[in-house]
């Protein structure tokens, strides 16, 4: 492939420097801890390795369940009822799962051990009503009473009220407006489509269609019990001062409501056609959109409203793709239970599993690692996607998170895949090196102006999308983050590029982002423990000495927040409440992240590390796995949380492997 600039005028990585051998350097000599601790760690690594190897798919990939919250299950049922494709078995199985997640007070939370959440409770309650649960049943009455006490449906998020509007339970006129004409805003105008993060962009386009057409499929019952006053379900909201940003956007929303009543008809029709074309063009080969469930759900609704029959190939494939998000199981009575994943994470899980097994001591040419590398190489994306809007001259070469998501590769997966591939001795080294080169050039080219990296786009930092009344569902932009930047910086260092100006700029940015306490914020994992566990190894492999003040502050902080049991944990409430930073029940994944930082910082023989290793070995189950009900993954900070079921397996194995064998890239060669 012809080398191109990264869109900022900078050239790609030089051939000679990125192309050294993929053979893993010999691990540093390590004789850590007390003999009993080492022996326990070695046993744990053996068991965990066997457990992880047994979970590899025959094609070479790993994928753990991705658990979020019951809004996914409720919205899936609502979609099926809206389209008329619901069936008794699916409805009953989904209802069992939703009931299993209800709290004793009748509410639902969005993460294990978290507080009750209004929108989740409204949606779960509504889905159970559709499934046949009576409103006067004790579990339902408790839920509706709590909803009323919190302000009723009127206080729920916009997306929840959109779902209710589809069935006539809420008036479309009482929802914020976002017209499909947004498709035509030039890319230099604030609030153009590409000011939104990729996940929001894919969701907003179909929702502008739904909002414009305002369909209603009357429900078989009312939901008066969810309103504080059924005669006045949508009390007027106070108007913020016109001089404030909130006031500006409230008045803009009022103007858009006026436009909805009096649109320019030819422009509206053209915008709807453009939105349909945009949606269809981004459907993946497996029928999904973006590899994630919410855009797929709204895209199916939008296209159906625009005249696509359910038997149309586009919608048929879309509905089939939604079935693949379902995880079927049985409850303790043997009845089927159905959970919906928000997305699936095979690329992410596979690269992390490959790294973990390499850290555990598997030889780099082990068949499982080679098979995983082959699968990852086949998944590399070699066609342009939406990222070309900001980087039109950049050659592709990234990886996505999911099985099929060619329009939206992400920088985080790309960096971690490269790091995993560097741990494998592949029988076709030329193929490997070409893939790594393409990936590194693409990732470097996606950096933002401040020298750091976001997840999907470059310079996706507009302050305006988050202010729209329509966008109250979580983060809708994709600014650079410490964890993604750390993974790219680590990748560049491993490729022998630690002195590249772009790598050094990334290191400087990371040093500037350290919190006063010594930690780093975690955008895509919970939270400061994840950020610190990502940044410290990247800084050290990039040449920052372990004696550097930033590293010592991080080590001190990790020692201060270690739990009395020897593990580490951090609750999702740390995204909103500083009192929770570094605090929470110990978990296997978060303990591993803390250990990965401490080991990189040269603390292998410290009592803090020994206690952390002991916690991991003591809590390992007989089958070599760890249990972890807590959510340690982040979709949107606080608003959308994830329990990656494979995190509890791969990260402890990585940490224990590095404890036994040393840092994997301790002898990475430098360029020149």
Structure tokens at 342: 């928000």
Task: Report the alpha-carbon distance of residue 376 to residue 432 in Å, rounded.
Answer: 10
Cα 384 to Cα 73, 249, 394, 401, distances in angstroms: 33, 34, 9, 16
Over residues 72-77, the mean pLDDT reads 96
Which among 412, 413, 478, 571 is annotated as catalytic? Answer: 412
Do the Cβ atoms of 291 and 400 come closer than 8 Å?
Answer: yes
Cα 250 to Cα 193, 213, 241, 254, 257, distances in angstroms: 19, 22, 10, 6, 11
Closest C-alpha among 209, 212, 406, 405 to residue 308: 209
Dihedral sign from CA coordinates of 556, 561, 565, 571: negative
What pLDDT, on the 0 to 100 scale, is given for residue 33?
56
Task: Report the alpha-carbon distance of residue 416 to residue 453 in Å, rounded.
Answer: 14
What pLDDT, on the 0 to 100 scale, is given for residue 17?
43
> Which residue in this structure is represented by tokens 């790598």?
503
Mean confidence (pLDDT) of the chain:
93
Residue 468 banded pLDDT, cuts 50, 70, 90: confident
Tens-digit pLDDT profile for residues 571-623:
999 999 999 999 999 999 999 999 999 999 999 999 999 999 999 999 999 99
What pLDDT, on the 0 to 100 scale, is given for residue 15?
52
Angle at 582 between CA 577 and CA 587, to 5 degrees: 120
Tens-digit pLDDT profile for residues 505-539:
999 999 999 999 999 999 999 999 999 999 999 99
* 120-129, 196-205, 447-456, 508-517: least confident range: 196-205
* 3-12, 22-31, 123-132, 143-152: least confident range: 22-31
Do the Cβ atoms of 251 and 157 come closer than 8 Å?
Answer: no
What spatial distance separates the first Cα and last Cα of the chain, rounded to whole Å? 25
| Domains and their CATH numbers in the chain | 15-64+345-446+481-661 (1.50.10.20), 70-228+248-340 (1.50.10.20)
Tens-digit pLDDT profile for residues 620-640:
999 999 999 999 999 999 999
> Is pLDDT above 80 for 666?
no
Residue 647 banded pLDDT, cuts 50, 70, 90: very high
Give the 3-state secondary structure of residue 643.
strand
Tens-digit pLDDT profile for residues 539-575:
999 999 999 999 999 999 999 999 999 999 999 999 9
Pick the more confident residue, 294 or 420.
420
Strand partners, 79: none
Structure tokens at 9: 């005028």
* Residues 6+ away with beta carbon under 8 Å from 123: 70, 71, 74, 75, 78, 160, 163
Helix (H) or strand (E) holding 554: helix 549-561
Give the number of other Cβ atoms within 10 Å of residue 105's Cβ.
Answer: 11
Residue 19 banded pLDDT, cuts 50, 70, 90: very low
**Could you tell me whether strands 336-340 and 633-636 are parallel, antiparallel, or unpaired per DSSP bridges?**
unpaired
> Is pLDDT above 80 for 388?
yes
Tens-digit pLDDT profile for residues 4-18:
444 444 556 655 343
What pLDDT, on the 0 to 100 scale, is given for residue 12?
67
Closest C-alpha among 618, 607, 614, 647 to residue 630: 647
What pLDDT, on the 0 to 100 scale, is given for residue 14?
57
Over residues 107-136, the mean pLDDT reads 97
Residue 299 banded pLDDT, cuts 50, 70, 90: very high
What pLDDT, on the 0 to 100 scale, is given for residue 27?
38
Task: Report the alpha-carbon distance of residue 546 to residue 539 in Å, rounded.
Answer: 9
Tell me the pTM.
0.93
What pLDDT, on the 0 to 100 scale, is given for residue 502?
97
Structure tokens at 352: 């992390």
Task: Report the alpha-carbon distance of residue 575 to residue 474 in Å, rounded.
Answer: 12
Q: Residue 525: phi, psi to the nearest 5?
A: -150, 160
Active site residue 412: yes
> Is pLDDT above 60 for 269?
yes
> Is pLDDT above 90 for 253?
no
Residue 431 banded pLDDT, cuts 50, 70, 90: very high
What pLDDT, on the 0 to 100 scale, is given for residue 181?
97
């Amino acid at each position: 492939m012809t080398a191109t600039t990264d869109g900022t005028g900078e050239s790609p990585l030089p051939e000679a420097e990125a192309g050294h051998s993929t053979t893993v350097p010999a691990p540093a000599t390590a004789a850590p801890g007390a003999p009993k601790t080492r022996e326990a760690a070695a046993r744990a690594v053996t068991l965990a390795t066997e457990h992880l190897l047994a979970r590899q798919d025959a094609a070479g990939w790993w994928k753990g369940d991705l658990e979020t919250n019951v809004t996914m299950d409720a919205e899936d049922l609502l979609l099926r009822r809206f389209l008329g494709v619901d069936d008794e078995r699916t409805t009953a199985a989904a209802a069992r799962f939703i009931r299993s997640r209800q709290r004793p007070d009748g509410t639902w939370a969005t993460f294990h051990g978290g507080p009750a959440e209004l929108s989740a409770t409204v949606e779960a309650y509504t889905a159970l009503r559709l499934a046949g649960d009576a409103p006067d049943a004790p579990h339902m009455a408790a839920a509706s009473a709590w909803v009323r006490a919190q302000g009723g449906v009127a206080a729920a998020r916009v997306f929840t009220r959109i779902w209710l509007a589809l069935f006539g339970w809420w008036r479309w006129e009482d929802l914020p407006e976002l017209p499909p004409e947004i498709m035509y805003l030039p890319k230099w105008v604030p609030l153009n489509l590409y000011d939104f993060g990729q996940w929001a962009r894919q969701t907003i386009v179909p929702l502008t269609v739904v909002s414009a057409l305002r369909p209603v499929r009357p429900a078989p019952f009312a939901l008066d019990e969810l309103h504080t006053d059924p005669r006045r379900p949508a009390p007027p909201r106070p108007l913020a001062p016109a001089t404030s940003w909130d006031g500006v956007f409230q008045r803009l929303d009022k103007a858009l409501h006026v436009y909805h009543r009096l649109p320019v008809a030819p422009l509206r029709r053209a915008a709807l056609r453009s939105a349909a074309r945009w949606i269809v063009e981004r459907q993946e080969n497996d029928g999904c959109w973006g590899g994630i469930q919410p855009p797929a759900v709204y895209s199916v609704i939008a296209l159906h409203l625009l005249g696509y029959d359910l038997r149309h190939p586009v919608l048929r494939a879309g509905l089939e793709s939604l079935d693949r998000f379902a995880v079927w199981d049985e409850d303790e009575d043997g009845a089927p239970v159905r959970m919906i994943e928000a997305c699936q994470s095979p690329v992410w899980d596979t690269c992390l599993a490959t790294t973990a097994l390499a850290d555990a001591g598997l030889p780099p040419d082990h068949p499982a690692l080679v098979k995983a590398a082959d699968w990852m190489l086949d998944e590399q994306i070699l066609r342009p996607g939406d990222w070309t809007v900001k980087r039109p001259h950049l050659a592709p070469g990234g990886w996505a998170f999911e099985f099929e998501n060619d329009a939206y590769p992400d920088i985080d997966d790309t960096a971690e895949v490269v790091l995993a591939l560097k741990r494998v001795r592949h029988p076709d080294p030329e193929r490997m090196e070409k893939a790594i080169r393409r990936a590194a050039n693409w990732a470097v080219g996606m950096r933002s102006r401040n020298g750091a990296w976001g997840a999907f786009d470059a310079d996706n930092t507009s302050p305006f999308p988050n202010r729209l009344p329509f966008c109250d569902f979580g983060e809708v932009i994709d600014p650079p983050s410490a964890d993604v930047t750390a993974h790219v910086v680590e990748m560049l260092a491993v490729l022998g590029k630690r002195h590249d100006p772009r790598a050094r700029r990334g290191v400087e940015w990371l040093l500037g982002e350290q919190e006063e306490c010594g930690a780093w914020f975690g955008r895509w994992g919970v939270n400061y423990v994840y950020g610190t566990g990502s940044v410290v190894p990247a800084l050290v492999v990039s040449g920052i000495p372990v004696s550097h003040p930033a590293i010592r502050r991080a080590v001190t902080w990790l020692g201060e927040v270690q739990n009395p049991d020897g593990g580490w944990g951090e609750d999702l409430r740390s995204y909103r409440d500083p009192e929770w930073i570094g605090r929470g029940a110990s978990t296997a994944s978060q303990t591993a992240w803390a250990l990965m930082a401490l080991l990189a910082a040269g603390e292998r023989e410290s009592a803090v590390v020994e206690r952390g290793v002991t916690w991991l070995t003591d809590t390992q189950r007989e089958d070599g796995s760890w249990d972890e009900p807590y959510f340690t993954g982040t979709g949107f900070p606080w608003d959308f949380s994830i329990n990656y079921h494979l995190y509890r397996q791969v990260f402890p194995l990585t940490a224990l492997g590095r404890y036994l064998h040393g840092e994997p890239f301790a002898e990475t060669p430098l360029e020149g």
